[in-house]
Chains A and B, each alone.
Chain A
Amino acid sequence: MTLTTSGGQRLLWLLLAACLAALPASAQTPDDEFRAVLAELREASFSDKESIADKLIATSHMSARPVLTALLEDRLFVRSQDQQIFIVSSTEESRTQYELIDPVSLSRAGSAPVDELTKIGTNNRLRRFLRITIARGALANPDPDVRRAAVRELLRSLDASAIELLRQRKTEETDARVLYEIDTALALATLDDGDAAARVAAVQTLSERLSPEVRNRLAALIERNDDGSFAESDEGVRVAAAAAIETIDTARSLYSGVETLFFGLSLGSVLVLVAIGLAITFGVMGVINMAHGELMMLGAYTTYVVQTALPGYIEWSVLIAVPAAFLVAGLAGVLIERTIIRFLYGRPLETLLATFGVSLILQQLVRTVFSANNRSVITPSWMSGTLPINDALSITYNRLYIVIFSLIVFGLLLAVLKRTRLGLDIRAVSQNRAMARAMGIRSEWVDAMTFGLGAGIAGVAGVALSQLTNVGPNLGQSYIIDSFMVVVFGGVGNLWGTLIGGISLGVINKLLEPYAGAVLGKILVLVVLILFIQRRPRGLFPQTGRAAEAA
């Protein structure tokens, strides 16, 4: 789902985007001039290439940096047939065709078989030169994120010229986050050449950092060489380094705990999302809807259909799919209720069987219409990627959005039940059908609406699931047991119970996983749940009163 791109490439795209943003107006130099300089690269020696690179920069053409970055990353090629130079978007080994990008306009230029392309080579010296040249440009960029990324890139292989560049930048830099990175880099540099006191100070600066590079560097200080002497000669520095490593490790394990909790939270909110519709039909109506999973599946397929029908709106597709899925699944729910469920009120075990039949039919229907294969649903770019909190903790956007989304759905549902007329009717009918009817509530209509509401929410959950798992005919089955567990655990007929039950199950699951492994963890959770139900047969928040007993 997420685009798996290496850090370097990500940086590249950032740079590229920044260049595009920064230099649009200065592209007055004719493209031809740029192209001519570029053409020289074909036969140049390594040292010539350095000067060509300088010349390219001197043109201030907007494509200069992307081209140099491509050269640095071995992605600049000459096409054999016409000796044209192209940037290649990716050189993954599995590819037999490379996607070509025109180096001047940066637009797509078709593709070519791998063996018809010749790479423009580099050596270490040239690469160092290119890196510094590119970084220098990036460090002057007005966007602090670009500058920060540039520092981090430099930090990976510090040499004298890089250090010099950073020192220089430090005097001008105003952004605290960029300064922070520069300090890290300079402190790392100090470890190599400062005096003992400076090294201790550098270690102290580094003890506040979290990145694995820093930790490894510090760990190297207290290691012994082969001859038994310490890698770091000064005792004081070693002591400081050991203390710093401990500080870093504590902080890192704290953050990994936070990360586990967040994973648990996001799994939990998925569980809440898939269970909450069930909580309505099961808890409020006493109907065991085994087709709940398949209604989610319908929601997920709705997302697919929306994306197929509106290929130009992929970024919006998920947002469009939410109401669409609500309608599709909700209508399906109303249909099921009107044709089947309404004859089975008060007989929960029978509703279980009948809706199970419905689930089989829906699965097969999807197989007939869409084939048995999984469909690929695209993740909009705003939902992919990660939100870095710090070096030890970053949060993927899709997880974050799912948490927010399920809280919104939960809140809306609660509002519908508590604040609207429909909600009042639903609660009235669920508590005393005959009485509600006597009060003039059209219980038939309320039943259909309630079931439709539960089904619609299942559809909405399906949209979310389409971003997390494969969209296929079996999507529903894999969640149905979990969602029943959540409802039973939380206590039937209590939405808050579903929320707390779902989140705690998610967190427990993720907490167990590191020790027991995913499958065993799941088994453990099921066993714990079975035992829990023995203790509290009606869940965390049991319904009370005589109505509950007679239920």
Chain B
Amino acid sequence: MSAIAGRLPLSFSDRESLWFLSILAVIAIAVPILNLAVPPSSPLHVSTYVLTLVGKYLCYAMLAIAVDLIWGFCGILSLGHAAFFALGGYAMGMYLMRQIGTRGVYGHPVLPDFMVFLNWTDLPWFWYGFDRFWFAMLMVAVVPAVLAYVFGWLAFRSRVTGVYLSIMTQALSYALMLAFFRNDMGFGGNNGFTDFKDILGFDLQQDTTRSVLLVVTVAALAASYCVCRAIVASRAGRVIRAIRDAESRTRFLGYRVESYKLWVFVFSAVVAGVAGALYVPQVGIINPSEFEPINSIEVVIWVAVGGRGTLFGAAAGAALVNYAKTYFTAALPEVWLYALGAIFVGVTLFLPRGLAGLMPAASRGK
């Protein structure tokens, strides 16, 4: 069976996974050590800024893997994954806000600053429980999952496909953005959440806390990679690819296409949500602009750059494009949008299989 698989353009060999996981392991070990143990004077020292940046890229990589699973393997171009990412981020943000406690500007023991500012007297019901870490973490997964389930159930059951689905997901995330911009929604309006103090009692400004967060992110990324990989390597994974290539044919073989799409969509949303939750404590802010439709489209282009349908390519694409973004926006801010635009056009025209498609077949473990 594996001999057969080796001859297919879009399948895995364990060597790829091994490479990918090893790189992650190196990051998880080296970056914290270079940050904590190497003195700042040394050229090898990794600054807190870089540490945070790496953490951010890793969260993006996770988001890219989620999008790759649903787009690269199942053919559903979701333009709403930034919304799931943001929802996970907001759930984490709510926990972090409640951790601030009396240290806020207004010093209210229960209400976050922005609620005091709006003259609210009671905590809205949907904020209950977010002072507990386990509950918040549960919500990080449950909220995106429920939204994805409801949306997917409606959409897939009525066979909304292709571009229609993309546009609907985009509208969904746009509607959420408008909603979160409203002050009376109870999520801090356009300022969102920021000024976090600590997580599980550890100071978020401490390098050690940040290093631990980085390691946790690497672990989460590795875990989602492995689970996604297991899914696509299973027979269900082949059904999913069959759906991508000939949806109605799959139905005539007796597969209930909508339920396959639905579960993959839900799982992908959960991965995106977890990525968002890890992102927020590291960058220290979450606001409604995370829902912007352009964010979702950018994720898609990371995946396309890396190579859709490969998982590790998506992760690499996310890191690469974001590195370019960091570089350009600092060095040549005007050029960045030109460059990003050119990447969009260039990749779709010249690199339909992304950078992974450039890799010689041999290195992909014939």
Contact = CB atoms under 8 A, between A and B. Distances in A.
Touch between chains A and B, by CB atoms below 8 Å: yes
Interface of A: 282, 288, 290, 340, 343-344, 348-350, 352-354, 356-361, 363-364, 367-368, 477, 481, 484-485, 488, 519-520, 522-523, 526-527, 529-531, 533-535, 537-538
Contacts of B155: 533-534
Q: Is the interface of B mostly helix, strand, loop or mixed?
A: helix
B175 A340 contact: no
Contact of A537 (B159, B171, B341, B352): B159
Contacts of A477: 294
Contact of B340 (A357, A533, A534): A357
B182 A340 contact: no
Given A352-B166, A481-B293, A523 B301 contact: no
B341 A364 contact: yes
Given A353-B301, A353-B304, A357-B342, A530 B168 contact: yes
Nearest to B156: A534
Interface in B145-193: 151, 154-155, 157-164, 166-168, 170-172, 174-175, 178-179, 181-182
Interface string B296-339: 01001100100000000000000000000000000000100110
B77 interface: yes
A411 to B, nearest CB: 27
B37 interface: no
Nearest to B77: A349
B348 interface: yes
Most buried by B among A352, A354, A477, A488: A352
Given A349-B163, A353-B304, 14 more contacts: A350-B348, A353-B297, A354-B349, A357-B348, A358-B345, A361-B342, A364-B338, A364-B341, A481-B170, A519-B181, A519-B182, A522-B175, A523-B178, A534-B158
B342 to A, nearest CB: 7
A364 B162 CA distance: 29
Given A349-B166, A353-B297, A357-B341, A364 B334 contact: yes
A344 B348 CA distance: 8
A530 B173 CA distance: 11
B20 interface: no
B344 interface: yes
A523 B338 contact: no
A289 to B, nearest CB: 11
B87 to A, nearest CB: 16
Contact of A354 (B157, B334, B345): B345
B182 to A, nearest CB: 6
A145 to B, nearest CB: 44
Contacts of B342: 357, 361
A359 B341 contact: yes
A358 B352 CA distance: 17
B343 interface: yes
A361 B338 contact: yes
30 contacts: A288-B166, A340-B349, A343-B349, A349-B77, A352-B166, A353-B301, A353-B344, A353-B348, A354-B349, A357-B343, A357-B345, A359-B341, A360-B341, A361-B342, A364-B337, A368-B334, A477-B294, A481-B170, A481-B171, A484-B171, A485-B167, A488-B164, A519-B181, A519-B182, A523-B178, A526-B175, A527-B175, A530-B171, A533-B160, A537-B161
